[in-house]
Structures are given as structure tokens and as C-alpha cells.
Amino acid sequence: MKPLSPEILASLDLAPVLDGLPLGVAVLDRDGLLVTMNAALERLTGFARDEVAGVPGRHVLRSGLCHKRTAQEGPADTDIVNRHRRRIPVRLHSLPVNDASGEMRYRLDLVEDLSALKALERRLEEPGGVGGLVGKSPQMERLMRLLPAMAQADAPVIVIGETGTGKDAVAETIHKLSPRSREPFVRVNCGPMSPELLEAEIFGRRQPTGEITPGAFQRAGAGTVHLSDIGELPEALQVRLVQFADEGLIRPVGAAMDVRSQARLIASSPVAPEELVRAGKLRRDMAYRLGALRLDLPPLRERREDIEFLLAHFLELYAAKFRKKVEGFTPKARRLLLSHDYPGNVRELRNVVEFAVMVCTKPDIPPACLPVHLLGHLGLAGAGGE
């Protein structure tokens, strides 16, 4: 049976066929311009096929890999960024459609959404507890009991904890346990941007054409907006958030009217709200709105019974990731790890174990495989032995 020529292919009404496929499909011409795409890819990218016809494919399948893609390459895993700036893990496979002379006339990009698979992999990496939180101490058990109840509420939440204690993981866990779990979770760091850019990033911006460039609240829809480092938020934007907390209304930059948002607000900070108020970094009315549901994450030095449990957890995780036959720590290395205060908390401990597993060539990790900065902090730089 001869393959269909591009002319016959172009004459067929393929839209119902493509729309019936569970994978996203983009049809591109030899110049990489989009001819059409199916309904699955419309849902994945947020773009309608009619509005992007004739647009370079890389502007719709936005990924560094797509810029270099050829039809001869095999499947590859990558991320794309959709219209609402959501990063989606996908598997991309390109197929050529050649004419009778063997010259490529069209290219089919098949796009498989890997979000469910990646979520399952993350769940398999979790040894217990809730979400990405790990621990057996009384403080962590109490925290894990509180999270499901907080997830069912709609009131704003504030999560307090030092760097590395897991504020992002707690915020995302609340979202995943909530009835909003199928909606987007959008995180914005309030620290590194100028006030003007931050305002647009949170509330969106009205363009001269009248179109709204979506901010965090628009992208979240009925999901969750997580604002980290809330103490860095300018006062004027705090006033806007108080209005949202009271009335559920936001106003995009440049817009004349308020719009309603169904998103839930979660804020986080390394500093307690009352300290931020005293320092003049947080409005008192904003602190009141956030104070109803509050979680204080204990630093690792205050739950030392979790250190050994975390060491074992991350050792197993990274041994599997790096395919290393690493089974434990030597007695001396274990004593060093258990005596450290971990000012970077769980993140620091995880990084220490990842480094040690990566460089170790023995079944048990000796002190020589621990990071130099850790040994230097303990006054043991250059330590070796078992």
C-alpha cells in the first residue's frame, strides 16, 4: 500500500481524526509554521488552532528543545510552557510527511502530557507523611494532622519557617489535599522583581488592545496562588490583597474595573507576621487577614530525632536516582551528620546526601565523601578515614 501523498493528505478532512486522538498533534509545514493542531493540543497549550495558524511552531510549543527539533529525531522528554505560563512535562515525537521524491512536506509533532506520570513518580518518592513532607517527630506529626483540615478551608493561610524548612512543599500540599487540587497551583516570589513588574505578575495587565495578560490570579483560576516572601511585598500591593481577602476582587494593571477571582491565597515568610509588622514590612490589616490559619514549621535543629530518618530517606532516594550501590554511612560519617545543626534545614541535609551519594564509590559513605563545607563547619576539613 502506497503512503498518502501530501496533496491527498491536504484534501482530507483530518480534523475529526486528529481530535479523536488522546495525544496532542501539531501539523507544521517545511518552514516550521503551524498548519493546524488537534483539540488535545489546544487544551494542553491554551491556544486555539485558528489563532495560531501560520505562526512558528516554537511559539506554540514553547520549549528550548522545540527550537532545535527535526523530524528525524526520536522521542524526547522535555517541558513546554503553555499560554498561561504553566510548565508542563511532555514527551515529544516528530514524524515527517514526505512527498513521492522523499522530500519532507509536512512534520507531525506528537505531544504526550506526562503530568500524571511525573506526579505518580513524585508520590512514589515520598516514604510517608503528607505530600513532600518527611518526618516522625511530634512536631511533624502535629503538622501533618493539621494540613488536611486547613486544605478544606477557603481562608488565606500563612506558612512561617526558616529557609529550607519546606514552606513551598507545605503550600503545595495544602493545594493538593484541597478540593482545588485539579486547578493550577501558581507560585510567585515577592522578592526579586520591581514593584511594577510584581504588580503585573500577581494581578495581570491590560494591554492597549484591551486583552489582559494574565497574572497569578488569572492563571490560577479557581486554584491556589502562593506568594512567598510576603514581607517583601510593597505596601500598595498589600492593600490590593486585603481587598481580595475581603471581597474576592482584583484589578489588573491598567484596567478600569475590578474582576472577581475564585483563587485561594497562601502566603509564606521566613519571619513571623508580628515581627514583620513591627519592622514596618507588613500592614497590620494584612497580618490579621493571614493570621486565621497559620503554620509554623520547626527548624531541623529543634526536631533532631528526624535527622536520622531523613538521612535514610534521602540516601535511598539518591542511590536509586544515581544507580549506586550505596547502603549507608560509616560510623564516623554518621556521627558527623547527626551532630551538625543544619542551618539550611532539610534542604541542606538533602543536598549533603545527594553530593555524598554522587561521589561515593563504596557501599558505606565515609567522611571523605561529605561536602568540604560541612567538614569545615565542623572543624574537620580534610578529614578522611571511616
300 vs 27, 165, 281, 310, CA distance in Å?
A: 52, 7, 27, 10
* 126-298 to CATH, choices 3.30.530.80, 3.40.720.10, 3.40.50.300, 3.50.50.100: 3.40.50.300
Total-model pTM: 0.65
Closest residue by Cα to residue 33 from 107, 112, 102: 107
290-342 pLDDT per residue, tens? 988 999 999 999 999 999 999 998 998 899 888 889 999 999 999 999 999 99
The domain over range 302-377 is classified in CATH as 3.90.1150.10: no
- Do 6-117 and 126-298 share a fold? no
**Rounded distance between C-alpha atoms, residue 334 and residue 366, angstroms:** 9
**Rounded distance between C-alpha atoms, residue 273 and residue 253, angstroms:** 27
Is-contact 334 367, C-beta < 8 A? no
112-123 pLDDT per residue, tens? 988 766 764 565
Domain positions in the chain are: 6-117, 126-298, 302-377
Is-contact 343 374, C-beta < 8 A? no
Where do the H-state alpha helices sit in 204-362?
A: 216-220, 235-247, 273-278, 284-291, 305-322, 331-339, 345-359
Lowest mean pLDDT among 79-83, 98-102, 233-237, 295-299: 98-102
CATH architecture of 6-117: 2-Layer Sandwich (3.30)
**Rounded distance between C-alpha atoms, residue 264 and residue 224, angstroms:** 5
Closest residue by Cα to residue 136 from 296, 338, 305: 305
Q: Which residues on adjacent β-strands are paired with residue 265?
A: 225
198-254 pLDDT per residue, tens? 999 999 999 998 899 999 999 999 999 999 999 999 999 999 999 999 999 999 999
Q: Which residues on adjacent β-strands are paired with residue 250?
A: 259
Is-contact 5 100, C-beta < 8 A? yes
Q: Which residues on adjacent β-strands are paired with residue 228?
A: 189
Type and span of the H or E element at 123: helix 115-125
Which amino acid is it at 365?
I
User: Phi then psi for 306, rounded to 5 degrees?
Assistant: -85, -15
Helix/strand/coil (H/E/C) assignment for every residue in 274-316: HHHHHCCCCCHHHHHHHHCEEEECCCHHHCCHHHHHHHHHHHH
Is-contact 108 95, C-beta < 8 A? yes
